[in-house]
Structure 1
Amino acid sequence: MSDNFTLSHGRLKTRFTALGPYFREGLSEPDRYFFDSLSVCVDANKEPDVREFWGWWFELTPSDQGFNYHYGFGLFDKEGVWVAKPIPSDAREAVDKTLTHFYAKLCTLVNDDLSRTLSPSQTLSEPELAGNES
């Protein structure tokens, strides 16, 4: 990020935490911010420590103009690892809804509050997200 970007890593973490339960501080660093959502439980009858979830993960990397994003869909397995997999049709609506909700909040924060841009990464393989990007 350019030197005129005034928010430190600590302040960005505070702002990202305010977006809701998506921000994963322990998986974030000054050059990469990690978010995710465990949107749909695969089997709620299993013990909590072995449950798996359908959802998404989202990464932001600082750039000169703001942030670049990259995201993916898949299964959060019982080992606590994201595995890229197609979302089953019965879970897709819920997963898409949480990503859309998160992305709208992120756009407002980045574009309006921070006066920065939010752009897709060159490595993005999923569709570009629609929002109020600048």
Structure 2
Amino acid sequence: MALVSGHPKSRLMKGFTALGPYIREGQCSDDHFFFDCLAVCINMQPSPEKREFYGWWIDLNAEEKRYTYTYHLGLFDKEGHWSEKKIKEQEVLDKLESSLRQFHTRLRAYIVSLDMTLEPADSFKDHPFSLSS
């Protein structure tokens, strides 16, 4: 199936998977892709399936000539759901920002290889830091 951008979805999924362990295929749809990263474990005591993490997630949308994104920082809870949360610990925030910037660089390079651009969504105004580069 070719997307609005003209690229086959199977090719895109293969390319997105090669970027690292971030794509959540089950949460993707025709022109929407979901990536996340469980960057910092909050408590190692519970069993792995009950742990909570600080991390980030990106919603990526395919348009005719570009891909747009929004990203969020927050908490991945023991039920497996994301919620936005202001990160107060500077060390945690630094780790989230670093991992998100590294992923964004690889994502941008892949999208440019498709002769497309990667831009913040028009409605995305409240981002904690800029990913442009």
Q: Same fold (TM over 0.5)?
A: yes
Once the two structures are TM-superposed, the CA of residue 93 in structure 1 deviates from its matched residue by 1.2
Q: Does 1:130 align with 2:132?
A: yes
Structure 1 residue matching 2:20: 3-state secondary structure: coil
| Mapping of residues 75-114 of structure 1, within 5 Å | 75-89=75-89, 90-111=91-112, 113-114=113-114
Q: Which runs of 4+ in 1 moved over 3 A?
A: none
- The number of equivalent residue pairs is 128
- For 1:37 and 1:83, the matched residues in 2 are separated by 13
Structure 1 residue matching 2:7: 3-state secondary structure: coil
* Equivalent residue number for residue 73 of structure 1: 73
What are the superposed Cα offsets for residues 3-26 of structure 1, whole Å, 9 maximum, x if unpaired? xx4421111111100100011111
- For 1:99 and 1:38, the matched residues in 2 are separated by 11
Structure 1 residue matching 2:22: 3-state secondary structure: coil
Structure 1 residue matching 2:69: 3-state secondary structure: strand
What are the superposed Cα offsets for residues 70-95 of structure 1, whole Å, 9 maximum, x if unpaired? 11010000010001001232311111
Asked if the contact 1:120/1:128 (under 8 Å) is kept, the reply is no
State the AA in 2 paired with 1:101.
Q
Question: CA RMSD for the aligned pairs?
Answer: 1.3
Bigger shift: 6-15 or 70-79? 6-15
* Equivalent residue number for residue 20 of structure 1: 20
Q: Does 1:118 align with 2:100?
A: no
**Runs of 5+ consecutive residues of structure 2 not aligned to the other structure:** none
* Equivalent residue number for residue 47 of structure 2: 47
